[in-house]
């Protein structure tokens, strides 16, 4: 038998594809076994780890680190990564900007790589939880940089502000997920296909913030879904050691790694920290003066609430300090927050007003100044705020503005945390006052004034709910002067929340049932509850919807609550009592009220409620458009005044007016009485005059109509003649040649031929040929059909014969051409043909 290669000259290709896959899997298995041996032999107590090459890492991880230009280990990385590679639980603490992100991302990749937790069948292997969206995005970007060179893990980012349905579809295929607490809890409770039974690693970045009041319930609920046998790593600049927190996370003999615990300072050495005594009412003046002197710097300004951030940003933006301004807070949409963080990170000179949402973990490159206008709630918050500058051995400067009442307590807390800070003084000759400018802006712009009022109330409430009363003393703050510094004519009225859970409600996330596909479920803001539920099945007309419209501007109910009520009753509490400020009642109405009850018995059946004198004060209210004043003698009548729909029945109906040419208004229908009618004469005489006037008017209009009709007929005839003339010109087969000078040669050409005679002969021949054609067409008769009448000459009905006869006449007229008699006629005909 002849081999196949000798017949066709081709050989069957060998199946090297399957062989290559088998060899690749075998090599990976050998590499993993070798890595396992190196990790087991690793001495975590050794201090010889200086580069990433000194650690037993896989080739994809080494390639990713090299591509991202990470070569040297920091202190926290050199101590935490070897311990984490062995699978131990870790409590990691280090200064801000010391590289804690890589300290837990590298062990996550390596441990999952050795476990071969790859592909959708492997399930979720690692969960990294971050307190804010911005920090979660930053962690995911670093994970992508170091894992893109060979690792086959499916990693995803799950945060609020995105489509819930898209996240649900992708979450079931992920091996590594970076998330925020609120959004992850929402998926664990609502996504049926999401399974976390195979989870190997749990990482909490900024663990002290995640474990405090704001995310306590979310973290407890998330941990209940996770398996007990897992590796847990906690990292933060201010680490917690509370036994209750560690027990909640089921940590098993955790290794506490703190590289700077024995250091003299808790903040970076290259960070210059100062504070200045600034009264509350002068803080905005100091901030404005500082921005004027640092226009070419990159500045991060921290304020205590989102309302303050919005007001300062809008006010300074109108005043144009000469430096680009940005603002960041938790109430913004996700797309806006991403855009703002990227713009500030790439800017060389800019100023970002932010809340504590930007205080933790965010790595803004080359920040020159961190200015804290409002005092932080504790020393840990201060450390995280100033940690946005002086990162990775860079230099940075931080300034804290303290009110005189806040200085002793805050300095004590900072000294306890090993934070070195020095006092500096502000040069008064360089300081500019902007109080008058803000007052002018608030007077011109009601929206800005409303923002100023909300900024005032949010700041006062933030001071009121602070636990450390040694630092935050509301009674010692100059609130009236502070309101004036914001541009307000007076301090707004404030109603405080009852109970001790005000801060818990402020930090609590939004309820899961309130969140939808694009709702934010992980921020520390609390959505205001709806005061009144609308009936879903109630029928509302267009008329009802018109009266239900609520002004969202300065006339809203929450705006009017900020204004003092001059008619406050004497029963209200005096200023300074608990639960109120500036004379505002803690409760508007009592919870229970007793109505007057009239007993009726058999002995007094004739008794009526009108026999009892009503001691309630009565008053008359005059309403514009009402015929009579309205009597207000009850709460129901008082409530009726606030309803436009209820007041319509007291007002007169509207009247229609028309305006003449002079702009004078008069009624739509004018009726005369008998006296005015009699002054114009007898009815017969008025009737005769009316008929005579109408006859004259009709005659004038008849003449105008006749003239219009005459003009239309004349125009129609002219158009018909012009159409006939143009058709005749097109039918004439005349040829006219121009000479070299543009004229017409008359009398002969170079061959001695008479052009005019030829033209006339051609015209006559054209007419004769047309007439012969018409005669020939008239002689041809159509063949009769079997159903036509034999008595008819042409087999057609009379109507069709008349139409054909009329057409022949029209064709004959068209064929008639006037012969040119003079040279002018010939030139005119030639010009018509040429045009």
Mean pLDDT in residue range 110-138:
92
Question: Is the pLDDT at 399 greater than 70, yes or no?
Answer: yes
Which of 443-447, 518-522, 603-607 has the weakest average pLDDT? 518-522
pLDDT tens across 322-332, in order? 999 999 998 99
Which of 332-341, 517-526, 762-771 has the weakest average pLDDT? 517-526
655 pLDDT band (50/70/90 cuts)? confident
Question: Is the pLDDT at 525 greater than 80, yes or no?
Answer: no
How many CB atoms sit inside 10 A of residue 313's CB?
Answer: 22
pLDDT value for 660: 81
624 or 394: which leads in pLDDT: 394
Question: Is the pLDDT at 757 greater than 60, yes or no?
Answer: no
Question: Is the pLDDT at 792 greater than 50, yes or no?
Answer: no
pLDDT value for 189: 92
Mean pLDDT in residue range 98-110:
93
- CA 3-9-13 angle, to 5 degrees, is 80
Question: How buried is 636 (Cβ within 10 angstroms: 0-12 exposed, 13-18 middle, 19+ buried)?
Answer: exposed
610 or 764: which leads in pLDDT: 764
pLDDT tens across 26-73, in order? 888 888 999 999 999 988 887 778 899 999 999 999 999 999 999 999
pLDDT value for 540: 76
Residue 75 CA to residue 56 CA, distance in Å, equals 17
Tell me which CATH code domain 271-434 carries.
Answer: 3.40.50.300
3 state SS for 404-445: CCCHHHHHHHHHHCCCCCEECCCCHHHCCCCHHHHHHHHHHC
Contact call for residues 372 and 398 (beta carbons, < 8 A): yes
Mean pLDDT in residue range 248-260:
82
108 or 652: which leads in pLDDT: 108
Whether this model's pTM surpasses 0.85: no
pLDDT tens across 160-178, in order? 888 888 899 899 899 999 9
pLDDT value for 568: 44
Average predicted confidence (pLDDT) for the chain: 79
Question: How buried is 221 (Cβ within 10 angstroms: 0-12 exposed, 13-18 middle, 19+ buried)?
Answer: middle
pLDDT value for 712: 93
3 state SS for 181-227: HHHHHHHHHHCCCCCCCCCCEEEEECHHHHCCHHHHHHHHHHHHHCC
> What contacts 38, CB < 8 A, 6 or more positions away?
56
pLDDT value for 269: 87
Specify which of 264-273, 453-462, 487-496 reaches the highest per-range mean pLDDT: 453-462
Residue 428 CA to residue 104 CA, distance in Å, equals 49
Mean pLDDT in residue range 569-583:
43
pLDDT value for 267: 87
Which of 178-182, 696-700, 774-778 has the weakest average pLDDT? 774-778
757 or 642: which leads in pLDDT: 642
Mean pLDDT in residue range 804-817:
56
Mean pLDDT in residue range 176-192:
93
Query: Would you list the DSSP string of 283-351?
Result: HHHHHHHHHHH-TTSEEEEE-SSHHHHHHHHHHHHHH--SS-EEEE-TTS-HHHHHHHHHHHHH-SSEE
652 or 226: which leads in pLDDT: 226
Mean pLDDT in residue range 176-196:
93
Question: Is the pLDDT at 398 greater than 50, yes or no?
Answer: yes
Angle between helix 446-464 and helix 435-444 axes, rounded to 10 deg: 120
pLDDT value for 5: 46
600 pLDDT band (50/70/90 cuts)? very low
186 pLDDT band (50/70/90 cuts)? very high
pLDDT value for 673: 77
pLDDT value for 797: 57
Of 773, 768, 770, 747, nearest in space to 758 by CA: 747
Question: Is the pLDDT at 664 greater than 70, yes or no?
Answer: yes
373 or 566: which leads in pLDDT: 373
Question: Is the pLDDT at 302 greater than 90, yes or no?
Answer: yes
* Candidate CATH numbers 1.10.260.40, 3.50.50.60, 3.40.50.300, 3.40.50.2300; the one for domain 37-258: 3.40.50.300
Question: Is the pLDDT at 527 greater than 50, yes or no?
Answer: no
Mean pLDDT in residue range 9-25:
65
Contact call for residues 404 and 473 (beta carbons, < 8 A): no
Question: Is the pLDDT at 428 greater than 50, yes or no?
Answer: yes
Mean pLDDT in residue range 95-114:
92
DSSP SS3 for 399:
strand
17 pLDDT band (50/70/90 cuts)? low
pLDDT value for 579: 46
433 pLDDT band (50/70/90 cuts)? very high
Question: Is the pLDDT at 497 greater than 60, yes or no?
Answer: no
Mean pLDDT in residue range 718-732:
87
Contact call for residues 492 and 562 (beta carbons, < 8 A): yes
pLDDT value for 480: 94
Pairing of strands 271-277, 422-423: parallel
466 or 613: which leads in pLDDT: 466
817 or 689: which leads in pLDDT: 689
Mean pLDDT in residue range 269-280:
94
Question: Is the pLDDT at 115 greater than 50, yes or no?
Answer: yes
> What contacts 64, CB < 8 A, 6 or more positions away?
145, 146, 147, 148, 149, 150, 151
DSSP SS3 for 471:
coil
Question: Is the pLDDT at 670 greater than 90, yes or no?
Answer: no
Q: According to CATH, where is 3.40.50.300 located in the chain?
A: 37-258, 271-434
Of 405, 582, 573, nearest in space to 492 by CA: 582
| 113 alpha-carbon distance from chain centroid | 40
């Amino acid at each position: 038998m002849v081999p196949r290669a000798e017949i066709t000259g081709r050989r069957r290709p060998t199946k090297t594809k399957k062989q290559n896959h088998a060899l690749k899997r075998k090599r990976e298995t050998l590499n993993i076994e070798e890595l396992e041996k190196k990790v087991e032999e690793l001495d975590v107590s050794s201090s010889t780890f200086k580069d990433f090459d000194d650690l037993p890492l896989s080739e994809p991880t080494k390639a990713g680190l090299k591509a991202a230009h990470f070569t040297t280990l920091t202190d926290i990385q050199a101590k935490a990564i070897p311990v984490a590679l062995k699978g131990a639980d870790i409590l990691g603490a280090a200064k801000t900007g010391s590289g804690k992100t890589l300290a837990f991302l590298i062990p996550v990749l390596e441990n999952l790589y050795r476990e071969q937790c790859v592909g959708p069948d492997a399930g979720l292997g690692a969960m990294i939880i971050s307190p804010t969206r911005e920090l979660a995005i930053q962690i995911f970007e670093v994970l992508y940089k170091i894992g893109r060179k060979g690792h086959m893990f499916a990693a995803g980012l799950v945060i609020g502000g995105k489509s819930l349905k898209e996240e649900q579809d992708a979450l079931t295929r992920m091996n590594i997920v970076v998330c925020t607490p609120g959004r992850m809890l929402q998926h664990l409770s609502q996504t049926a296909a999401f399974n976390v039974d195979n989870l190997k690693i749990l990482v909490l970045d900024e663990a002290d913030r995640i474990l405090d009041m704001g995310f306590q319930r979310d973290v407890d609920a998330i941990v209940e879904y996770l398996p007990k046998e897992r590796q847990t790593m906690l990292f933060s600049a201010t680490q917690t050691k509370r036994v209750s927190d560690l027990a909640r996370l089921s940590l098993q003999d955790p290794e506490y790694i703190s590289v700077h615990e024995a250091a003299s300072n808790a903040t970076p050495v290259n960070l210059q920290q100062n504070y200045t005594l600034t009264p509350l009412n002068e803080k905005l003046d100091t901030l404005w003066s500082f921005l004027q002197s640092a226009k070419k710097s990159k500045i991060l300004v921290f304020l205590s609430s989102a309302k303050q951030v919005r007001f300062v940003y809008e006010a300074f933006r109108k005043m144009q300090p000469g430096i680009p301004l940005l603002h960041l807070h938790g109430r913004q949409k996700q797309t806006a927050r991403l855009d703002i963080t990227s713009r500030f990170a790439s800017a060389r000179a800019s100023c970002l007003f932010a809340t504590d949402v930007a205080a933790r973990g965010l790595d803004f490159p080359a920040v020159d100044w961190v200015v804290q206008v409002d005092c932080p709630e504790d020393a840990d918050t201060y450390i995280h705020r100033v940690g946005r500058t002086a990162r990775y051995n860079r230099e940075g400067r931080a300034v804290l503005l303290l009110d005189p009442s806040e200085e002793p307590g805050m300095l004590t807390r900072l000294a306890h945390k090993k934070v070195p800070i020095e006092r500096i003084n502000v040069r008064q000759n360089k300081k500019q006052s902007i109080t008058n400018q803000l007052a002018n802006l608030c007077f011109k712009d009601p929206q800005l004034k409303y923002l100023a009022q909300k900024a005032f109330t949010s700041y006062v409430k933030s001071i009121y709910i602070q636990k450390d009363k040694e630092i935050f003393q509301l009674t010692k703050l100059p609130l009236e002067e502070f309101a004036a510094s914001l541009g307000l004519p007076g301090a707004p009225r404030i109603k405080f929340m009852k109970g001790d859970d005000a801060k818990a409600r402020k930090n609590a996330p939004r309820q899961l049932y309130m969140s939808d596909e694009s709702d934010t479920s992980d921020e520390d803001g609390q959505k205001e509850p709806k005061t009144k539920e609308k009936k879903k099945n109630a029928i509302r007309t267009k008329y009802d919807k018109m009266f239900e419209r609520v002004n969202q501007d300065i006339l809203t109910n929450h705006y009017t609550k900020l204004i003092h009520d001059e008619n406050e009753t004497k029963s209200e509490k005096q200023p300074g009592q608990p639960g109120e400020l500036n004379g505002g009642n803690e409760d508007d109405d009592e919870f229970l009220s007793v109505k007057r009850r009239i007993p009726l018995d058999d002995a007094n059946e004739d008794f009526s409620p009108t026999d009892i004198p009503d001691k309630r004060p009565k008053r008359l209210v005059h309403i514009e458009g009402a015929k009579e004043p309205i009597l207000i003698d009850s709460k129901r009548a008082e409530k009726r005044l606030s309803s436009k729909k209820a007041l319509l029945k007291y007002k007169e109906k509207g009247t229609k007016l028309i305006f003449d040419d002079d702009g004078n208004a008069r009624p739509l229908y004018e009726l005369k009485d008998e006296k005015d009618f009699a002054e114009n004469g007898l009815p017969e005489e008025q009737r005769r005059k009316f008929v005579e006037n109408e006859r004259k008017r009709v005659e004038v209009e008849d003449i105008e109509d006749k003239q219009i009709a005459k003009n239309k007929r004349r125009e129609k005839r002219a158009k018909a003649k012009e159409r006939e003339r143009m058709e005749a010109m097109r039918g004439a087969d005349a040829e006219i040649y121009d000479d070299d000078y543009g004229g017409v040669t008359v009398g002969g050409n170079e061959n001695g031929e008479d052009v005019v005679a030829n033209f006339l002969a051609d015209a006559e021949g054209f007419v004769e040929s047309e007439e012969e054609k018409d005669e020939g067409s008239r002689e041809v008769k159509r063949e009769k059909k079997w159903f036509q009448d034999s008595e008819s000459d042409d087999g057609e009905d009379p109507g069709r014969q008349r139409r054909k006869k009329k057409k022949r006449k029209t064709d004959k007229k068209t064929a008639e051409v006037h012969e040119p008699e003079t040279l002018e006629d010939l030139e005119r005909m030639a010009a018509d043909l040429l045009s």
